[in-house]
Structure formats: structure tokens, C-alpha cells
Amino acid sequence: MLKLTWRNVIRHPLRASLTVLGMAVAVLAFALLRTMVAAWYAGVEAASPARLVTRNAISLTFRLPLAYLLRIQALPGIVGVAYGSWFGGVYIDERHFFPQFAVDVPRYFEIYPEYVIPENPKLSFFQDRRGCAAGRQLAARYGWRLGDPIILRGTVYPGEYRFILRAIYTGREPTTDEGRFFFHWDYLNESLKKTAPDRADQVGWFLVKVARPELAPTLAEEVDALFKNSLAETLTETEAAFALGFVSMTEAILMAIQVVSWVVIGVILVVLANTMAMSARERLGEYAVLKTMGFRPRHLAGLILGESLILALAGGIVGLSLTFPAVHLFRTALGQYFRVFPLTWGTLTLGLGVALGVGVLAALLPAWRAARVSTAAALRKVG
């Protein structure tokens, strides 16, 4: 049976090659689109259940007084609090975008152990008020080295800000974003005291670390209760929920990408089903002869199913093999927008499973017809 199935596969080399190629392209497109969706959710997946984010209840664009820090720290069950603000500066020009954050440096990097910095550069960064830290990917993108001057033109906070690169961090996990830029919030605040005193001593959010993840819901309510009916009420949520809020803004785009990924698979399913139907129709006479030799309907169905699975599996393996260099190219080309572009085992497994599923579905109708055709009718069939 296996030998006969293989001979059927290679009987029309050009047809088989084109079918495998089409399947490979479809699986490649499917895996890339699913990886793009995973990249969108990378921040959610990397979030810690032991971290909370406290922001203004109206919107993230409204700030919170720095004075909230001591009141949040005093709550039992909270083991660390840091703060930060989105900077939104321009490096060279608007096309060279990367996320920039003014943060409470020592406490921020204590709460985020996934940002790994060697001890000497970390000490230099912590001690230099104008020092900054960049992720490894960001530093490689611009060829930055330790000690390089970096100038940003503020948009949210107008003015020219001059930094010295004191540290380059690496991610503890493969999914850690290595495309961010951090500097001291104190440096920004000192500038604001001179240029815009009404905006000084205010932060974009507080980052709260809790002793145990199960305390997070209760502590979130307690933090918000502290500032209820104040001029700047707060909304405290888990880090995952905070990240998911940004993802939800592009929910329609994500849905469209997922729909397109399945449409691609649907198209190749139709193509493979047509190929198998053509092959089965051409071999009706052969199937009649095989029946006279003692082959049962299940044997004929097995031949068609085996041929379809071989074509689909070959295309799936080729497509998934091409996914690795394709993801690398996408990461290089779109690193500005997708700083984390994770090709996971889940995506690869799903791609292989889809290929096998297409192989089975494409063979069902041709196999059913071949199994049911009578010997006399098959022998009379011409063309």
C-alpha cells in the first residue's frame, strides 16, 4: 500500500511539485500572520501577575501627583512602587520611532528583573542623572555604544534633551522587549520645573509590585479607594490588563489578520481538493481493476487519503522550514513596529496541524467517490 501510494504521488511530478509549493506558501503565510498576532500580544504574555499599574482613571494622558507614591507604599502587601512617564521624543526625525520612558530608575529596574544589565554599567546608569539605558536591539539598530551622546527632541515635553548611553540591557526571556529606551525621571522633572512648573512633580503611572499574585485584585481596589473622590482618581489593574487595553485599540486589525490567515488555508484546501479529485477521476479505471484484484473500498480510500496527506505534509514541512528565515527578515524589516516577533512552538504545531487537516479534508470527497463507484461503471468511464 505504501509503495503504491508513493507511486501515485510522483506519477505527475509537475502537478505534485506545484501542489506542494502552493501548500508551502499557504502554510508560510499562515504562520507569519499568526506570528504577527502573537507579536501584538507579546506584552500581555510577558506581563507579571505580581505587578499592578496605577494610572489616572480618566485616561493615561492625564497625570497623577508624585505625592501619591508614599500613600501607595504604605499599604500592607505592597513590596515595591516605582513610577514613570511616556516621553515621546524624536530621534533624528519622526521616522526613527522607538518607545522612550522617563522612570524612577533604581526601583523600576528592581521591579523589572527581566531587564538584565551588567553591574558596572548599571551602577554608572543609576548614578548619572543624564544617563540612559537602551535595549540590545535598539542599540544595534543605531550602532550605539556605551558613552555615546543621544539627543532627543521632546514632543510631549517640548525641548532638547541630551543623554549619555550608560547601559545596554538584554532580555532575560526571548519575549522581553529589547527595543526600549529608559532615562531618569528626575532629569525630566528638573527640566519641567524650569520650563513648565505646572507639569512638574507629576507622573504618568505608578508601577506596583505585590507580595503575592493572589493579593493583586484586593490591593488594586485598596489603591483606588485611597484616591476616590480626589481631583485625580486612579484606576489600578494588573499589568496584563493594562497591556491588553492597548491591544484592544487594534482589535479590528487583529481580527482581520486572523480571518485572512484562515482564508489562506481555505484557498489551499480548495486547490488540494481539486488536485485530489482530478487524480481520483483519472484513475477510476485503475480502481476498478484493483477492486477485481480484491482491494476493498477502504483500501482505495486509504490510497487517496495517503496521497493527499503526503502532499499536504510535504508542503507543510517546507512552509514551516521557510518560516524561520522569513520571521528573521520580518523582524529585521519591521523591528521598529514589532520589537518582539516570537515564532513559538504553538504556531509551528498549529501550522503542521493545519497542513494535516487540509490533507484529510481534501481527500474525503474523492475517497468517498472512489470507494462507492462500481467496477462496471468505472471500467466504462472514459477520459
CB neighbour burial string for 8-45, b if at least 16 within 10 angstroms, e if fewer:
bbeeeeeebeebbebbbbbbbbbbbbbbbbbbbbbbbe
Rounded to whole angstroms, the Cα distance separating 255 from 251 reads: 6
pLDDT for the residue numbered 279:
75
For the residues of 297-308, what is the DSSP string, one character each?
Answer: HHHHHHHHHHHH
pLDDT for the residue numbered 375:
62
Give the distance between the most distant pair of CA atoms in the chain.
Answer: 97
Q: How many Å is the Cα radius of gyration of the chain?
A: 30
pLDDT for the residue numbered 47:
77
pLDDT for the residue numbered 131:
96
- This prediction has a pTM of 0.72
pLDDT for the residue numbered 136:
92
Average pLDDT across each block of 10 residues of the chain; the chain has 383 residues. List them in order: 68 83 90 82 75 92 93 94 93 88 95 93 94 94 94 90 96 85 96 91 95 93 93 92 73 80 87 78 65 69 82 91 86 64 82 89 80 61 52
Rounded to whole angstroms, the Cα distance separating 372 from 290 reads: 13
pLDDT for the residue numbered 288:
61
